[in-house]
Amino acid sequence: MKGRTQNRSHDIISSKKNTGSKEKDEEFEKESVERKLAEKALREQIDRNKQILQTAIDGYFLVNEAGQILEVNPAAGIYGYSQEELVGMNIRALDADEPQKVREDVKRILNEGSARFETSQRCKDGRIVVVEVSIHTVDVGKQKFFCSFFHDITERKQAEQMLKEKEKELQIKNINLEEINTALNVLLKRREEDKIELEKKVMANIDELVNPYIEKMKKSGLNESQKAYLSILESNLNDIISQFSLHLSSAYLNFTPTEIKIANLIRLSKTTKEVADLLNVSSKTVEVHRKRIRSKFGIKNKKVNLRSHLSSLKDG
């Protein structure tokens, strides 16, 4: 009886052991299948990444800490080297920048783990190209690798440089034009000043050298015919003077040509009747113009002699 019980217990234990072993086998098999699937997915991802790198427009370098190029893609051929020539080459052999700039770029990559910058590099045939580089670091165990993507921006930089030069040329031309305009303005101003000065001198000479003799001739007992000629002469002379006065006064007083004629005659001590006779208008018309002239001078209703005021303007 006791023997049978022992056998039954042994069978139960064996059964449990077999069941546990079977479960472990199933679990191991399941893990193995999952691992194989993960490995397959990883290999497929690696293959896809390689395919992307092989067809990428940007060049690609995988570089170790010593600067040795480990992997490249076809687009890295912008330097004129084949993929076989590039693999194993030290990346520093391509540097064309000053060593100080290169050290600063490397330091930034190491400190920040990634960097984006522009750098000049030397091609196989000696040409210098400007490339835009994007680098990030990858740590595998205790080793550090650098994944570098880059593309040639030489034409863009040349275009930018040409644009800067054109802008500089335009700035110089604008400065030259401004200087020319300034010089022309000075010349025009000087010309206008010379013109005004000449007109003043002509008017002063007529007042000093011509008008006194006209007044003397009036008092010299002329006959009617001579008086008529003298009146015409005086009227024409006043017309000439009024043209000068038009430039000298009307620009800032807004006088009409008639007002300028009357103002000149008043300045020459002509009475209202004499002005009216010379201009073939009524005395009332002359009085109206006198009031307007005083108003434009700002001396209306003031005790200021109009002839004296006009003379002071001429002298100024």
Are 205 and 304 in a shared domain? yes
Q: How many CB atoms lie within 10 A of CB 264?
A: 23
Query: What span, in angstroms and rounded, lies between the C-alpha atoms of 171 and 163?
Result: 12
Q: How many domains, the chain? A: 2
Residue 11 forms part of a structural domain: no
Are 212 and 83 in a shared domain? no
Are 185 and 64 in a shared domain? no
Residue 263 forms part of a structural domain: yes
Are 217 and 136 in a shared domain? no
Are 95 and 182 in a shared domain? no
Torsion sign across C-alpha atoms 291, 295, 297, 303: positive
Query: What span, in angstroms and rounded, lies between the C-alpha atoms of 196 and 244?
Result: 8
Token pair in block for residue 258: 């008639």
Are 298 and 187 in a shared domain? yes
Q: 67: domain CATH number?
A: 3.30.450.20
Average pLDDT, the chain: 80
Q: What is the pLDDT of residues 30-68, one digit of tens each?
A: 777 776 766 666 565 555 656 667 767 888 988 888 889
Are 230 and 298 in a shared domain? yes
Token pair in block for residue 91: 């990346």
Torsion sign across C-alpha atoms 64, 65, 68, 74: positive
Residue 22 forms part of a structural domain: no
Helices marked H in the chain: 2-55, 83-86, 99-112, 154-205, 211-218, 224-253, 257-267, 272-279, 283-297, 306-315
Are 109 and 181 in a shared domain? no
Q: Tell me the CA distances in angstroms from 276 to 58, 80, 232, 266, 283, one per residue in order.
A: 96, 100, 14, 11, 5
pLDDT of residue 163: 93
Residue 164 forms part of a structural domain: no
Half-sphere exposure of 15 (CA within 13 A, CB side): 6
Residue pair 33/25 in contact by the 8 Å Cβ criterion:
no
Q: Tell me the CA distances in angstroms from 159 to 118, 121, 156, 164, 214, one per residue in order.
A: 16, 18, 5, 9, 79
Residue 148 forms part of a structural domain: yes
Residue 117 forms part of a structural domain: yes
pLDDT of residue 38: 63
Give me the domain span that covers residue 86.
Answer: 56-152
Are 96 and 200 in a shared domain? no
Residues of the chain under the 70 pLDDT cut:
1-25, 28, 35, 37-52, 55, 241-253, 313-316
pLDDT of residue 249: 53
Task: Mark which of 85, 118, 152 sits at the end of a domain.
Answer: 152
Residue 184 forms part of a structural domain: yes
Strand, coil or helix: what is 228?
Answer: helix
Q: What is the pLDDT of residues 140-187, one digit of tens each?
A: 878 888 888 999 999 999 999 999 999 999 999 999 999 999 999 999
Are 147 and 182 in a shared domain? no
Task: Mark which of 99, 120, 152 sits at the end of a domain.
Answer: 152
Q: What are phi and psi of 72, to 5 degrees?
A: -140, 165
Are 135 and 207 in a shared domain? no
Residue 170 forms part of a structural domain: no
Please report where in the chains the tokens 């009307």 appear, as a residue.
250
Query: What is the 8-class DSSP label of residue 146?
Result: E
Are 192 and 90 in a shared domain? no
- DSSP assignment of 36-84: HHHHHHHHHHHHHHHHHHHH-SSEEEEEETT-BEEEE-GGGGGGS--HH
The sheet carrying 143-152 orders its strands as 69-72, 59-64, 143-152, 128-140, 114-122
